[in-house]
Amino acid sequence: MNLWLTQHLQALKLVLARFKDNILGTLLISLAIGVTLALPVILYVVLDNLGGLVSDVKKESHLSVFLKLDHDETALQNIKNELEKNTSIKSFQFVSKEDALKQLTSTNNNQDLINSLEGNPLPDAFFIEPKLLDSGSVDTLKNQLSSLEGVEQVQADDAWIKRLNYLLALGKKAMLVLTILLGFALFAVIGNTVRMQILTQQEEIEVSQLIGATKGFICRPFLYSGALYGLFGGLFALLISSAIILLFNQSLAALSVEYQTNFTLNLPNITIFAATCLLAISIGLVSAYLAVSKSLFNSFN
């Protein structure tokens, strides 16, 4: 146990000393890994935040039922009764055309435009909050309401949310593909770096083998350097992505004031932090292992 620990500490110290001797090279490689990993991290943070926004909005989703302009009182009463009977409706609210015009007048700045209207162009309307929010039951309800006497149009205002959800799903797939492709690029970068190191240490490796070094003794420093490249790269990725997200947030702040929300992107949390570092370390370790086992023991007897 003690010997095992000594051997690992030895390898780690050796690798850190080599990194220190070549600090610029180490920084540049870590930076390259960091930039590569920062892209999927940023994409993930943006998608995750938008997803949160969508599920907030979805809770407020409802149906708008607009009545024909020339409907009569019985049709209105009929519809009201139907809505009260319908079990898939949580609550509804009637807004008469007069109320609607009042609301419009109070919120619209362009009074001239409203004053220039000859009559009231707005229909009577019901605003309905359904019990179930999945698109299937909303569609069924929409069809039921459209067939009622005196109904001009039923609008489900979650159509854009649906489209946004499809876009988000597409974005998540794109992120996955990007991560996999960039992961392969990292394999190549780290693998090649470790192979170069093996080449420069060729003499030492040969002598060590001749005087009784085990495979483990020879491989260990290279595996450590692969893993450390991954770790440093992962840390750089989080620094870079955090900086870029803060930059985005400056512009988003101005934009969300216009929309009267306070939407900002969250910085990578501890889960993303751990996942990025672990992913980077394992890519580093595996590619170093492949490089070592490929180029080190071809001539070992």
> What residues make contact with another protein under the rule CB under 8 A?
3, 6-7, 10, 203-204, 206-215, 217, 300-301
Question: What CA–CA distance (Å, rounded) separates 249 from 264?
Answer: 6
Kindly state the smallest distance separating residue 211's Cβ from another protein, in Å: 5
Output 107 or 301, the one with its CB closest to another protein: 301
- CB 194: neighbour CB atoms within 10 A? 25
DSSP string for residues in 35-69? HHHHHHHHHHHHHHHHHHHHHHHHTT--EEEEEPT
Minimum CB distance to another protein, residue 287 (Å): 24
Q: Would you say 199 or 274 has its CB closer to another protein?
A: 199
Q: Tokens representing 132?
A: 């179930």
Q: How far is the CB of 19 from another protein (least distance, A)?
A: 16
Long-range pairs of 46-53 with CB within 8 A, sequence gap ≥ 24:
46/248, 46/265, 47/168, 47/171, 47/172, 47/175, 48/266, 49/263, 49/265, 49/266, 50/164, 50/168, 51/168, 53/263
Cβ neighbors of 255 (< 8 A, separation 6 or more) are none
Assigned token pair, 40: 């999927």
Comparing CB distances to another protein, the nearer of 3 and 254 is: 3
Q: Which is nearer to another protein, 10 or 266 (CB)?
A: 10
For another protein, which is the closer residue by CB, 104 or 213?
213
Rounded Cα distance, 83 and 273, in Å: 50
Q: What is the chain's length?
A: 301
> What whole-number distance in Å separates Cα of residue 231 and Cα of residue 243?
19
Asked whether the beta carbons of 161 and 58 are under 8 A apart, the reply is yes
Here the tokens at position 65 are: 């039922």
Residue 17 CB, nearest approach to another protein (Å): 11
Closest approach of another protein to the CB of residue 217, in Å: 6
Provide the minimum distance between the beta carbon of 284 and another protein in the complex, in angstroms, as a whole number. 24
Tell the smallest beta-carbon distance from residue 27 to another protein (Å): 22
CA distance 83 to 128: 9
